[in-house]
Amino acid sequence: MTSAAESELLTRTGPGSPMGALMREYWVPAALSSELIADAPPTRLMLLGEKLIGFRDSRGRVGIMDHRCPHRCASLFFGRNEEAGLRCAYHGWKFDVDGNCLDQPNVPAHQSFPQKVKAKAYPAVERNGIVWTYMGARQTPPPLPCFESLMLPEAERNLFCAQRECNWLQGLEGDIDTSHFSFLHVGKVTPETADPKNIGRFATVNRAPDYHVADTDWGTMYAAHRPAEPDTTYWRVAHFMFPFWTIPPDGNFSDHVIARAWVPMDDTHMMFFHCSWKKNTPGLRKLKDGSPIPGVSIGNTFLPNGTGWFDRWRLKANAENDYLIDRDAQREKSYSGIEGIHLQDQAMTESMGGIVDHTLEHLAVSDLMITRTRRRIIQAARAAEQGIAPPGVDHPELFQGARGGDFLSSASTGWLEAYGSEMRGAQNPTGALKIAAE
Instruction: Give 133-151 as a DSSP string.
Output: EE-SS-SS--PPP--GGGG
The overall longest dimension of the chain from CA atoms, in Å, is: 86
Regions of the chain where pLDDT drops below 50: 436-438
Distance CA(14)–CA(19), nearest Å, equals 8
E-strand spans in 154-297? Answer: 157-164, 210-215, 219-227, 232-241, 245-247, 258-266, 269-277
Distance CA(359)–CA(224), nearest Å, equals 26
CATH fold, domain 27-134, is Rieske Iron-sulfur Protein (2.102.10)
State the Cα angle at 407 between 148 and 215, rounded to 5°.
60
Distance CA(375)–CA(283), nearest Å, equals 30
Distance CA(297)–CA(380), nearest Å, equals 37
Question: What pLDDT does residue 8 have?
Answer: 97
The segment(s) of the chain belonging to CATH 2.102.10.10 are 27-134
Buried b (16+ CB within 10 A) or exposed e, 92-107: ebbbbbebebeebeee
CATH fold, domain 148-425, is Naphthalene 1,2-dioxygenase Alpha Subunit; Chain A, domain 1 (3.90.380)
Distance CA(30)–CA(73), nearest Å, equals 22
The segment(s) of the chain belonging to CATH 3.90.380 are 148-425
Q: Which amino acid is at 364?
A: A
- Cβ atoms of 97 and 133 within 8 Å: the answer is no
Question: What pLDDT does residue 418 have?
Answer: 96
Distance CA(82)–CA(76), nearest Å, equals 13
Residue pLDDT, tens place only, 32-69 = 999 999 999 999 999 999 999 999 999 999 999 999 99
Q: Is 357 exposed, middle or buried (0-12, 13-18, 19+ CB in 10 A)?
A: exposed
Question: What pLDDT does residue 299 have?
Answer: 81
Question: What pLDDT does residue 438 have?
Answer: 41
Strands 80-82 and 405-410 turn out to be unpaired
Q: Which amino acid is at 144?
A: L
Question: What pLDDT does residue 434 have?
Answer: 83
Strands 94-95 and 157-164 turn out to be unpaired
Q: Which amino acid is at 339?
A: E
For 206, 285, 288, 297, 372, the CA distances from 196, given in Å and listed in that order, are: 15, 11, 6, 19, 34
The residues near 105 (Cβ < 8 Å, ≥ 6 apart) are: 91, 92, 93, 94
Q: Of 289, 248, 261, 80, whose CA–CA distance to 160 is shortest?
A: 261
- Cβ atoms of 85 and 95 within 8 Å: the answer is yes
Distance CA(344)–CA(268), nearest Å, equals 19
Question: What pLDDT does residue 1 have?
Answer: 82
Question: What pLDDT does residue 437 have?
Answer: 40
